[in-house]
């Protein structure tokens, strides 16, 4: 966790960025970021196919054949994709957690309270 994240500061969203997969270290970092990302990721796999979906699991990186599991946004099917098959990775979906930290919520709550608005809790729409 970064220093900023520990203190509840705004961390920029990865939405719209392309992962750097040039070295094993950068690949590992990209897969860690994808696992924490709360939006869809589009991966290009060997053979030219693309899979867009939510990466929700990654097996042990020390395994002989590490993989990620992704729920496809097209058909909601869970797929296992070996990391060596992934040639490119783009953070394409809206990051539903962007800007949703304690400090932002508390500030919004205090602003509503100061103006006399209702401070009832309602979930955000995720469209």
Kindly write down the DSSP assignment for every residue of 61-121, as one continuous string. Answer: TTSSS-EEEEEETTT--EEEEEGGGEEEEEE-S--TTTT-SHHHHHHHHHHHHHTT-----
Residue 53 maps to which CATH number? 2.30.30.100
- Whether pLDDT at 72 is above 50: yes
Averaged pLDDT for residues 42-64: 91
**Each residue of 78-112: pLDDT tens digit?**
999 999 999 999 999 888 777 777 887 788 888 88
pLDDT value of position 113: 85
The domain total for the chain is 1
Q: What is the pLDDT at residue 9?
A: 52
- Identify whether 21 is part of a domain: yes
Instruction: Show the domain range for 101.
Output: 12-114
Counting residues of the chain whose pLDDT is more than 70, the rounded percentage is: 87
């Amino acid at each position: 966790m970064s220093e900023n994240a520990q203190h509840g500061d705004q961390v920029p969203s990865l939405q719209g960025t392309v992962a750097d997969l040039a070295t094993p270290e950068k690949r590992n970092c990209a897969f860690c970021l994808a696992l924490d990302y709360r939006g869809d990721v589009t991966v290009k796999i060997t053979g030219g196919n693309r899979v867009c979906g939510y990466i929700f699991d990654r097996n042990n990186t020390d395994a002989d054949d590490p993989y990620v599991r992704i729920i496809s946004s097209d058909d909601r099917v869970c797929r296992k994709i070996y990391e060596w098959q992934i040639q490119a990775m783009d953070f394409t979906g809206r990051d539903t957690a962007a800007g949703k930290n304690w400090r932002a919520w508390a500030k919004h709550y205090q602003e509503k309270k100061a103006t006399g608005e209702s401070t009832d809790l309602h979930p955000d729409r995720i469209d």
